[in-house]
Amino acid sequence: MAKKRVYIFFRANGWYPLELGSDAEAVANAECNPGTLRVEDAHGRLIWREPSPFDVTPTHPDGSRA
C-alpha cells in the first residue's frame, strides 16, 4: 500500500489539507475542483497552480513544462 502524503489545497476563502497517494492524484483533484488556486505539499513545494491567461509556456499532458 502506498504511503499517503499531505497536500494543502488553497482556495480564495482559505485552505484545507488532504491526504493523497501522489502528486498526480493531487493535480487531478485540483483540476476537478474549480476554485482551487494552488496545491502545495506539506513542505511548501508547489505541486499545481491555477493556469493564468498570461502563462504562455506549453505544458505536456503530465503537467511538466516543455
pTM for the structure as a whole: 0.76
What pLDDT is stored for residue 56 in this prediction?
Answer: 64
DSSP string, 21-32: S-HHHHHHHHHT
Q: What pLDDT does residue 64 have? A: 62
The amino acid at residue 24 is A
Chain segment 34-64, per-residue pLDDT in tens: 999 999 999 999 999 998 777 666 555 666 6
**pLDDT for the residue 57:** 62
Residue 1 has pLDDT above 90, yes or no: no
Cell numbers that stand for 34 in this block: 474549480
| Cell numbers describing residue 10 | 488553497
Give residue 33's pLDDT. Answer: 93
Q: Which helix (H) or strand (E) holds 41?
A: strand 36-41
Q: b/e per residue, 17-43, with b = 16+ CB within 10 A?
A: eeebeebeebbebbeeeeebeebbeee
